[in-house]
Amino acid sequence: MKAILVTGGGSGIGRAVARLFADKGWRVGLADIDATGLRDTAAMLPAERTSTHVMNVRDASQWEHVLAGFAARTGGRIDVVFNNAGIAAGGAFGDMAIDALDRVIDVNFRGMAYGARLSYPYLKRAAAEGGAGACLLNTASASAIYGTAGLAAYSATKFAVRGLTEALDAEWAAEGIRVRSLMPGFIDTNLLSIGVTGTNRTARDAVVDAGLEFTPVETVAQAAWDAVHGDRVHTPVGKTARRLTFAARWLPGRLRATMRKRSLGR
């Protein structure tokens, strides 16, 4: 039986992906810093194929402990690690508190890098044992397609995730490990409840005011399944992500002008 470890499994995209893979008959390990969220997600999944692991992705020793604990439940098998945990911080970069900047960098990139490095032996073993689907799946963002004003730190970390994904896709290919990323647009999850610095508005308010669409988490979950089993390195998810991908490639000047106008008009 195949097994997937999902970080950020207590809510949002992680919860939706866990539910989809469980429905497909996989064992699911849920990891999150939010113990209550973990319990809520686990209650939606088959108990005999689900385990929960409270973890701070910024701590390498916790990564080691959780990976070993999950592997002990699966007979040593981990086919997919969904490197998904992340946070957002909005507002003008010049006003951002240093501790908030550190936290975004630590969770969104340091946590991802730890997950990639420490899951490597497990994925290598799965690939060597005939696990054709051995895969590291990283959650990036549409903000990794073109930097987003008001989300500079978040965009920067997601560009780093994009770079890590591309590098490891090349580095691990000979060992049979797929490395993929998801680049979803705006998803109506807890990430959008962040306040915009200097205002009483949230990121969700800004998305609504701009007339942009929300992509359902179920759509992202299906994209995750397809990414794990497909050959595309990056998977844009939702209309916004697809439009950005097109514009960044074919209309970079117009995209830059649009982004500057939106920023100046905040």
List active site positions. 154
What would the two tokens of residue 230 be? Answer: 């497909």
Measure the CA–CA gap between 137 and 219, rounded to whole angstroms. Answer: 16
Find out whether 227 and 235 touch, Cβ atoms under 8 Å: yes
CA distance 4 to 147: 31
Q: Tell me, letter by letter, the H, E, C secondary structure of the chain.
A: CCEEEEECCCCHHHHHHHHHHHHCCCEEEEEECCHHHHHHHHCCCCHHHEEEEECCCCCHHHHHHHHHHHHHHCCCCCCEEEECCCCCCECCHHHCCHHHHHHHHHHHHHHHHHHHHHHHHHHHHHHHCCCCCCEEEEECCHHHCCCCCCCHHHHHHHHHHHHHHHHHHHHHHHHCCEEEEEEECCCCCHHHHCEECCCCCEHHHHHHHCCCCCCCHHHHHHHHHHHHHCCCCEEEECHHHHHHHHHHHHCHHHHHHHHHHHHHCC
